[in-house]
């Protein structure tokens, strides 16, 4: 029986996809060269149902881990609660990574979905995890952040 090929999960914006809230991307050429075709490129926010471009989002009450614990929410700059979209996108991202047999995930720092060491909580860059990063952390994947 063949062993399933392992892939590496990567925030789509790091792979050059124009999926950021502002319609931009954060292509990381070194990461692209390192991973080659072994990357599963995915944007949790887009897959959660948010468009491109979309209003900037931030946390209220805590970070992504607090969202999963029911103590925080994600709001956009227009005052709309987008927590459900962020949660849905994170669940879809984790499902895709599991289907791809991923053990490592490369995330975009500062993102409300993918931030690993800092996120925007009520307008301030604060130490914390994004919604998808928190879910991946709980699932035990190795996480790596990129600016």
- Kindly state whether residue 1 falls inside one of the protein's structural domains: no
**What is the tally of structural domains in the chain?**
1
Task: Compute the half-sphere exposure of residue 24: CA atoms within 13 Å on the CB side of its CA.
Answer: 7
Mean pLDDT of all residues belonging to the chain:
94
**Which tokens sit at 122?**
């009520």
Give the pLDDT of residue 77: 96
Task: From residue 62, give the alpha-carbon distance in Å to each of 80, 97, 110.
Answer: 17, 25, 14
pLDDT at 119 over 80: yes
Q: Residue 98 is part of which domain span?
A: 8-146
**Which tokens sit at 79?**
């005052």
Q: What is the pTM of this model?
A: 0.93
Q: Is the dihedral of CA 70, 74, 125, 119 positive or negative?
A: positive
- Kindly state whether residue 14 falls inside one of the protein's structural domains: yes
Give the pLDDT of residue 1: 54
Distance CA(144)–CA(104), nearest Å, equals 8
- Kindly state whether residue 3 falls inside one of the protein's structural domains: no
3-state secondary structure of 60: strand
């Amino acid at each position: 029986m063949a062993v399933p090929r392992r892939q590496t999960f990567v925030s789509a914006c790091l792979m050059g996809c124009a999926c950021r809230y502002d319609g931009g991307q954060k292509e990381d050429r070194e990461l692209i060269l390192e991973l080659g075709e072994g990357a599963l490129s995915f944007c949790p926010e887009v897959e959660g149902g948010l468009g491109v471009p979309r209003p900037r989002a931030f946390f209220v009450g805590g970070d992504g881990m607090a969202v999963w614990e029911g103590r925080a929410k994600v709001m956009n700059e227009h005052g709309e609660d987008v927590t459900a979209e962020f949660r849905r996108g994170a669940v879809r991202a984790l499902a895709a990574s599991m289907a791809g047999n991923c053990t490592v995930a490369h995330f975009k720092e500062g993102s409300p979905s993918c931030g690993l060491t800092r996120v925007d909580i009520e307008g301030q860059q604060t130490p914390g995890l994004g919604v998808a990063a928190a879910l991946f952390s709980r699932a035990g994947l190795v996480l790596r952040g990129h600016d």
